Amino acid sequence: MIKLEELTKDYGKGESCTHALRGISLTIEKGSYVSIVGTSGSGKSTLLHILGGMDTATGGKYYFDGQLVSDYSLKQLEDFRRKNISFVFQNFALMNQYSIYENVEMPLIARHIKNRKKLVCDVLERLGISEIKDKKPLKVSGGQQQRCAIARAIVSDSPVILADEPTGALDQKTGSEIIDCFEDIHKSGKTVILITHDMKVAERSERIIRIEDGRITD
């Protein structure tokens, strides 16, 4: 379970300081499917990065399964990320010099996991991209690239999948198919938290968190 208490994030100091998060308190249950919506610059990505341990808060508390993540050292934060978090980005963030297969295999190599082939092939199959596994990302469609990024996110079996505008670079139909993938992931027991501009996407989740100017509005 995720619990935030009065979480704040400032970028910069003094006159040029931006208060990106101004006191966010919320609880997200394990295994839930949550979307975060809000206008551009409202603090969505900042919040997701802190949840994923990719950035740290300025103030407040972040608990994950009862552990105080906001007190972690950088080393502890890195361990926390590796064990618990996978990220999917709007622009896919694949390594274009490697094949689809190699991209999906990478988190397993980073975690020193052996017998990788079956794990990789199973997720490629699950995402419907087995046939293109030997191609480089730039040789396949945007939807297929995002499927690859999702395969890479779930192959290491992290309990939490975070996605920042995962359909933002895709047309409506392809985006909707990508959301089907997130729904499947949620059904398999994972916690899914995704940012979206698209209310149609948000409405398919179990819960919508609205953020405006660094605060939750309801």
Select the span of 15-23, 39-47, 126-134, 186-194 touching Mg ion (CB under 5 A).
39-47
Task: Say which entry of Mg ion, ligand ADP, none residue 180 contacts (CB below 5 to 8 A, set by partner kind).
Answer: none
Backbone CA torsion sign across 217, 35, 142, 159: positive
Query: How far apart, in whole angstroms, are the C-alpha atoms of residue 77 and residue 144?
Result: 31
Give residues with Cβ within 8 angstroms of 79, minimum separation 6. none
Q: Pinpoint the alpha helices (H) of 155-206.
A: 172-187, 199-202
Task: Say which entry of Mg ion, ligand ADP, none residue 20 contacts (CB below 5 to 8 A, set by partner kind).
Answer: ligand ADP
Of the two residues 9 and 133, which places its CB atom closer to Mg ion in the complex? 9
As measured in angstroms, the least distance from the Cβ of 197 to ligand ADP is 9
Give the pair of three-digit tokens for residue 189.
């027991």
Query: How far apart, in whole angstroms, are the C-alpha atoms of residue 4 and residue 211?
Result: 14
Residues contacting ligand ADP: total by CB under 6 A: 12
Residues that bind Mg ion (CB under 5 A): 45
Residues that bind ligand ADP (CB under 6 A): 11-12, 18, 20, 38, 40-46
